[in-house]
Structure 1
């Protein structure tokens, strides 16, 4: 049986517990029998895979490949995934470049079936890099089986820190964040934006995000998330607002805030801005 992460609480209380126990829980999860079997199989077989067709035909290899990019739900969409791989990323009309969710772009780029004469599966360190991402994303999925909000928080924490350090313009970073389904959901919820926000012009979306980030976090530049404290502020804001939304109708903002305060400490001035 695979190790299941322990998440006894939801919301920010659960996040605080996970933060305290995360290193030990991740190590136990990565060392589970199921993960060891997946790792051994991938290491033994991936070097012999030279085409997208071969990869998609092997469900166990494909499961690791998709899991490494948080796309495990696509395991049954073989034709679609093969097309993502074979089109590559270099042509503007490649399928991965047309999709709003840029995890597919990263998936296709990582394997290189459509970009290079010799795919990246032949590189000596390829298995190491994919398996490292696989372990991280599978742990997040396992947490998500108990709390989707905590899974999104983990993903946002990781992706924001990585994105903040990329050599991109300020607007390009925000656009990249919008292209990540988990990051978009965290940002929209944390900043109190409605579902209809996704329907407005992209330039306007970026402007709104900058304004909300400045209001809630003290700065509109996504590069601020190089500071782990800023990432924590956003995650806390997301989890508190998610918890407030979970109370539903019939509760006043003041009563909801009081309930949240009883279950989460050290919220600073963020909560006062939600009510």
Structure 2
């Protein structure tokens, strides 16, 4: 009997994640959803992505129950109107948008390797190409001291760090036949982009050009069906050169920060990245 491929997707209660879970199920995947509350999928796992220890327990449980995972999509994200902090004192954008994907990638690495041709898709954003050097400062990720800036502050920093994290892990994961992709879905009309974190001037400028979440989900599922997406950063179906800010030094700094945060916050070991 042919094994049904398994996809683990975060943030499926609305927006791109919701449409993606439905399209993946239609494409034949067994979808494991990871959310704060139940969302579409064959197996709904409840986890608070701001609680790193809770998420790690959930990730290890998924790895135990699914020895082979074909696809991990880190879709869940925050874009808030101000700084917020987790119970551990970590800035929430970094906790959800960067640290949570790291924990899932590491905890599910063995399951992705066993599947053969495993794929990790981290949803990034066009803001990673913004040329604000301050946005890439490592010390502003977990515990920022700079004034809050909507979109281009902690959200952009955390998404840039996520893209850098994927690039940093690319070579090591390739040894296990796992491909890591940073997928930019473009501007979409989702509860996040229509929420408090999006300044009204920016929203008015981009609203007409915003895609539907289903269009972004369809694009990703089409690429998956065609054997993609490729490793690296992908936007509009095309591979993009990483922005200069995401150089090798920054990639390793992000990886070291995520590793240090995970070690400090988790009651269980997360495998080494290399």
So what's the TM-score if we normalise by structure 2?
A: 0.28
Rg larger for: 1
- Structure with bigger RCO (C-alpha 8 Å, 6+ apart): 2
Higher relative strand content: 2
Structure 1 or 2: more helix by fraction:
1
